[in-house]
Amino acid sequence: MDTLHAARRRASRIEHDVVYRSMTGSARQGDKGGPRPENQRKRSELRGPRRSLLGVLALAAVGAITVGILLIRRPGGGLAQLSPDLLASSPLTSFRGLGLVLAIVVGGTQTLAASLLVLHHERARVVAAAAGAIIVATSAILVMLSIRLSWLQPTLFGIGFIELLLVAASTPRKPADRKHRFGRRG
């Protein structure tokens, strides 16, 4: 008798899942669907920050690779409008090394993070956070290596900071229990 009851319960749950998914259009891979509509609500709340993060990552990837290639092709910094005076106090003799770092390290991590977001990979936000941290670290290293600031350092820092904020905004959170969040009330 118990097995018959359990089979009916499973059939009812499966039927509910099929009907609910057809009504909400939420039959995506990784969707927990079913009798818990809060999962679909979380997904729709996170859609805006996730799309913004994807746009910023793609823009940063294209920019970093473009500026990196410009610096590799013309190591004097002329095409990227960087002054050769920036190299006076740094251990670098040309902008070619910076171009390689921008194109490969920064542009590569940005491209990887954007492609993982497009593919809905489970580690996409972790890689995006690492890509944002790499941009911020690159900006900090550039500031330490040179006496003067150019447009590149604050731009890199700003993009990295925005990426880190968007990663935090696109990360789902479990709703906190009122008792746990505000302490027990006796």
- Tokens linked to 22: 């057809």
Which pLDDT value is given to residue 7? 67
Q: What is the dihedral of CA 142, 105, 112, 60, to 10 degrees?
A: 40
Q: Is the pLDDT confidence value at 23 over 50?
A: no
| In the chain, domain spans | 1-31, 47-171
What's the gap between Cα 100 and its chain centre?
Answer: 22
Look at 77-86, 90-99, 172-181 and tell me which has the smallest mean pLDDT.
172-181
Contacting residues for 104 by C-beta, under 8 A, at least 6 apart: 68
Helix (H, G, I), strand (E, B) or coil at 177: coil
User: What are the CA-CA distances from residue 58 to residues 3, 134, 151, 166 (Å)?
Assistant: 53, 15, 20, 13
User: What are the CA-CA distances from residue 178 to residues 30, 39, 162 (Å)?
Assistant: 28, 20, 31
pLDDT band at 157; cut points 50, 70, 90: very high
**45-66 confidence digits (pLDDT tens):** 678 888 999 999 999 999 999 9
**85-121 confidence digits (pLDDT tens):** 666 666 667 778 888 888 999 999 999 999 999 998 8
Handedness of CA 119, 124, 127, 132 (dihedral sign): positive
Which pLDDT value is given to residue 87? 67
Contact (Cβ atoms closer than 8 angstroms) between residue 92 and residue 75:
no
Mean of all residue pLDDT scores within the chain: 76
